[in-house]
Amino acid sequence: MNTMLRTALVLAGVAIATQAAAQITFYEREGFAGRSFSTSKQVGNFNRQGFNDRASSVMVQGSRWEVCEDARFRGRCVVLRPGWYGSLAAMGLDNRVSSARTLHRNAHFDETRYAPAPLPVYDNQRRRNEQLYEADVTSIRAVVGPPEQRCWVERERYETGRSPANMPGAIAGAVVGGILGHQVGGGSGKDIATVGGAVAGAAVGANVGRNSGEAFRDVQRCVSEPSQARPEYWDVTYLFRGQEHRVQMTTIPRSTITVNRNGEPRS
């Protein structure tokens, strides 16, 4: 995730929980999706859990953990600080983790042993004797990864001996098509409709104004399409005692969120 997203998460009140019990949760797919496996104890061989070489993202709580490529903590090992790691590919461990163990708080490691800094994870466990309430969710925004670029080669007609025919027409077609697509789209499909309109407009515009003495040439065109991946998280706004709060969640919430007297989320 980029710096702006990291800052937004921090400003939204997401913080590392110092009093949480040490726990690590592995997910089968990037972005904390798919089947998961959690443990608070060291696991010398993920085969016993049916999770060997399957993890693609991980969430660490309460303490540092060491994850290794091979069973019994052999092979290449990486130290993970508490936080969200949306992709193990960033540290070369995608579908390669075979063992994991928690580390003593006083253990020291060279900085090169650590994985890239994670996004902080918030401890939403209920505290002892804490009274809980229900707060109404007012908006939910799915946040996906960066857009993907799609390119193709298109046969373009132009007049021989002159500049390519009607290039302004091609540009105008793309703009008008984009506007129409934007007007047609709605909700999460709005961006997809916008991109579709822009592509169609460019193709139609390039064919306007055909005359005699024409020839063809291949032209590469590219568009940025919204990511079709599962949302990385949901940006949720809720109202409690007249005050608006925001929180990032790895699963889509219901119509209410459980909170404490201060409006802090609780599970």
Verify that 136 and 162 share a domain, yes or no.
no
Where does the pLDDT of residue 266 fall: very low under 50, low under 70, confident under 90, or very high at 90 and above?
A: confident
Where does the pLDDT of residue 246 fall: very low under 50, low under 70, confident under 90, or very high at 90 and above?
A: confident
CATH, residue 91: 2.60.20.10
Strands 99-102 vs 214-225: parallel, antiparallel or unpaired = unpaired
**Structure-token pair, residue 7:** 């800052």
Higher pLDDT, 147 or 47: 47
Region 201-213: mean pLDDT is 45
Verify that 60 and 93 share a domain, yes or no.
yes
Residue-number span of the structural domain to which 247 is assigned: 126-145+229-267
- For the chain, give the percent of residues with pLDDT over 90: 29
Number of structural domains found in the chain? 3
Inform me whether the pLDDT recorded for 234 exceeds 70: yes
Verify that 265 and 133 share a domain, yes or no.
yes
Q: Please, what's the b/e burial string for 235-244 (b: 16 or more CB within 10 A of its CB; e: otherwise)?
A: bbebebeeee
DSSP H/E element including 237: strand 233-240
Residue 105 C-alpha from the chain's centroid: 30
What is the structure's pLDDT at 179? 32
What is the structure's pLDDT at 227? 59
What is the structure's pLDDT at 225? 67
In a domain, 165, yes or no: yes
**Structure-token pair, residue 32:** 């904390």
Region 41-58: mean pLDDT is 93
Longest dimension (CA), the chain: 85
Verify that 102 and 196 share a domain, yes or no.
no
Verify that 220 and 244 share a domain, yes or no.
no
What is the structure's pLDDT at 187? 38
How does the average pLDDT of the chain come out, rounded? 73
Higher pLDDT, 198 or 132: 132
Verify that 50 and 176 share a domain, yes or no.
no
Where does the pLDDT of residue 98 fall: very low under 50, low under 70, confident under 90, or very high at 90 and above?
A: very high
Q: Worst-scoring range by mean pLDDT, 5-9, 98-102, 179-183?
A: 179-183
Verify that 32 and 60 share a domain, yes or no.
yes
Where does the pLDDT of residue 226 fall: very low under 50, low under 70, confident under 90, or very high at 90 and above?
A: low
Contacts of 18 (CB under 8 A, 6+ apart): none
Tell me: the pLDDT tens digits for 53-63?
A: 999 999 898 88
Residue with tokens 């990486």: 78
Looking at this protein, which amino acid is placed at residue 175?
A: V
- Among candidate residues 145, 141, 173, 158, the one with its CA nearest the CA of residue 219: 158
Verify that 44 and 87 share a domain, yes or no.
yes
Verify that 186 and 140 share a domain, yes or no.
no
What is the structure's pLDDT at 252? 83
Verify that 13 and 93 share a domain, yes or no.
yes
Inform me whether the pLDDT recorded for 209 exceeds 50: no
Verify that 107 and 162 share a domain, yes or no.
no
Strands 65-70 vs 243-249: parallel, antiparallel or unpaired = unpaired
In a domain, 141, yes or no: yes
Distance between CA atoms of 160 and 167, rounded to whole angstroms? Answer: 14
Inform me whether the pLDDT recorded for 4 exceeds 60: no
Instruction: Go through the chain and tell me how many residues it has.
Output: 267
What's the DSSP call for residue 65? E
Verify that 180 and 221 share a domain, yes or no.
yes
In a domain, 99, yes or no: yes
- For the chain, give the percent of residues with pLDDT over 70: 65
